[in-house]
């Protein structure tokens, strides 16, 4: 039997995080964008560390346009940023709903759906920010951790 494990009140903590906002016109060239991001990290004397993290922020308002960010931890803090990049020494997001998904990557969105249902059932208010950590992306079986920030 397959199961998506969930938990409440989890904290997402990342260190030395390089972030880059992805514009809608870049979605089709995501691999190029990620290669550029890794090259930026390496050209500043650091190495990419750990899995890739995607952050989607859904701002409040009548016609919210989602903001998509790709994040990568690095082995050290990079003091000088180029345009389009930002760096956090520590990114800590408390009070998250958490889901651990193992299965086909094509079905990994079920983790977010399950957390939305959990929030609904427990009357939890979400901020609209979701962090997806791609622990392992294999065609047959991927591992994805999802964190949804609550208010």
pLDDT digits (tens, 9 = 90+) for 77-97: 999 999 999 999 999 999 999
pLDDT at 111: 97
Q: Which residue has the higher pLDDT, 2 or 150?
A: 150
| 116 Ramachandran zone, left/alpha/beta (phi>0; psi -120 to 50) | alpha
Contact 112, 138 (CB under 8 A): no
Task: Write the pLDDT tens digit of every residue in 13-40.
Answer: 999 999 999 999 999 999 999 999 999 9
Of the pLDDT bands very low, low, confident and very high (cuts 50, 70, 90), residue 59 is confident
Integer angstrom CA distances of residue 144 from 27, 53, 60, 73, 115: 20, 10, 26, 16, 13
* pLDDT reading at 108 higher than 80: yes
Contact 10, 98 (CB under 8 A): yes
Which CATH class, in words, describes the domain spanning 5-150?
alpha beta
* pLDDT reading at 140 higher than 80: no
Please give the model's pTM, rounded to 2 decimal places: 0.94
């Amino acid at each position: 039997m397959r199961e998506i494990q969930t938990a409440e009140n989890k904290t997402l903590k990342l260190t030395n995080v390089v972030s880059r906002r992805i514009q809608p016109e870049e979605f089709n060239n995501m691999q190029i964008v990620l290669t550029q991001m890794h090259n930026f990290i390496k050209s500043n004397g650091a190495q990419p560390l750990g899995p890739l993290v995607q952050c989607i922020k859904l701002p409040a308002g009548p016609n919210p346009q989602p903001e998509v960010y790709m994040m990568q931890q690095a082995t050290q803090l990079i003091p000088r940023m180029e345009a389009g990049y930002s760096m956090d020494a520590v990114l800590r997001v408390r009070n998250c709903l958490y889901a651990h998904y193992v299965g086909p990557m094509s079905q990994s969105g079920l983790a977010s759906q399950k957390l939305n249902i959990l929030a609904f059932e427990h009357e939890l208010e979400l901020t609209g920010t979701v962090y997806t950590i791609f622990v392992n992306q294999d065609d047959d079986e991927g591992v994805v951790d999802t964190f949804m920030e609550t208010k």
